[in-house]
């Protein structure tokens, strides 16, 4: 009997994506095989440890987790063959990376959807922002763009509609408070909090740092299920490995009720399964 797994094949041809369906043989023997998977936070590592335990118990597969400290190295390492898969980014980030690096990495399955939140140690509401205040945002195009759209959603700024889902600071058309935007590596946003009025921080780094919910002053996904597919996180492989039965088995193991429960536990209910 064959088990159906829905996966997403990300192709960077005019930034397009297409969904495909593949089949993994339930009874294929994977025992003794090893898969190395890159993650970019202790939070994601914790979720994947539970998947790794089940992979060993149920299939005899050893998952070797490689923890990276930024959003740059996981795709480089996957592209050059240093690791087999990675799981740290959403669809839009992958497309942007492929376009900028002439890469051919693809998505082989969804993982989870995470909100993007604005944190502050100085104010309790965006309404308390003053003229000339500094706001830190991620310096990569996709998360930085999402941060600006979140601030537009909150009514703080306006951005040019023609910029689409990847606006830059230069695309801001209205900024009544003359806010100053500091673009930082995502891993540096938490340490920046004492020096800025607010920071837009990716959920995994916020969780790793133990940031409390009382420091959240805005959340772009109060209704997380309405976020576009481009913000769904994924498991990525090299294009030539997109139908590798072993890797599709990893997707199947991840996309489970056990993982859903672990996500809820580790994220304190903020992340939702995306499959």
- Residue 73 phi, psi (nearest 5): -70, -35
pLDDT at 26 over 70: no
Whole-number pLDDT of residue 225: 66
Residue 38 C-beta-side C-alpha neighbours within 13 Å: 25
pTM: 0.73
CB distance 82 to 170 below 8 Å: no
Q: From 209, 235, 244, select the one nearest 39 (Cα to Cα).
A: 235
Q: Which residue has the higher pLDDT, 2 or 191?
A: 191
Quickly count: other Cβ atoms within 10 Å of residue 26's Cβ. Answer: 10
What residue ranges do the domains of the chain occupy? 2-114+227-273, 116-220
**Mean of the per-residue pLDDT values for the chain?**
89
Contact, 106 vs 235, CB < 8 A? no
| Rounded-to-integer distance, Cα 161 and Cα 145, Å | 12
Task: Dump pLDDT digits (tens) for 10-23.
Answer: 434 334 444 444 44
The alpha-carbon radius of gyration of the chain (Å, integer) is 19
What's the CATH number of domain 116-220, 3.40.190.10, 2.40.50.100, 3.20.20.10, 3.40.50.1010? 3.40.190.10
pLDDT single digits (tens) 206-251: 988 999 989 999 998 776 666 778 889 999 999 999 999 999 999 9
Superfamily, domain 2-114+227-273: Periplasmic binding protein-like II (3.40.190.10)
């Amino acid at each position: 009997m064959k088990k159906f797994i829905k996966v997403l094949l990300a192709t960077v041809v005019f930034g397009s994506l297409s969904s495909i369906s593949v089949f993994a043989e339930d009874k294929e023997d994977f025992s003794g095989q090893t898969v190395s998977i890159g993650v970019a936070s202790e939070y994601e590592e914790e979720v994947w440890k539970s998947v790794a335990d089940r992979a060993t118990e149920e299939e005899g597969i050893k998952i070797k987790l490689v923890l990276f400290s930024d959003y740059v190295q996981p795709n480089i390492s996957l592209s050059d063959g240093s690791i087999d898969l990675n799981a740290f980014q959403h669809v839009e980030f992958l497309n942007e990376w492929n376009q900028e690096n002439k890469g051919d990495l693809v998505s082989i399955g969804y993982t989870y959807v995470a909100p993007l939140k604005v944190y502050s140690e100085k104010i309790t509401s965006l309404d308390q922002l003053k003229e000339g205040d500094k706001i830190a945002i991620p310096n990569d195009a996709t998360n930085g763009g999402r941060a600006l759209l979140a601030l537009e959603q909150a009514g703080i700024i306006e951005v040019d509609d023609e910029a689409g889902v990847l606006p830059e600071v230069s695309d801001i058309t209205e900024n009544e408070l003359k806010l100053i935007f500091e673009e930082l590596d995502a891993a540096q946003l938490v340490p920046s909090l004492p020096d800025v009025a607010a920071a837009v921080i990716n959920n995994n780094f916020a969780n790793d740092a133990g940031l409390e919910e009382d420091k959240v002053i805005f959340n772009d996904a109060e209704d997380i299920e309405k976020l576009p597919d481009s913000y769904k996180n994924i498991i990525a492989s090299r294009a030539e490995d997109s139908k590798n039965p072993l890797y599709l088995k990893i997707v199947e193991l991840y996309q489970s009720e056990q993982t859903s429960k672990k996500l809820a536990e580790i994220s304190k209910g903020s992340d939702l399964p995306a499959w």
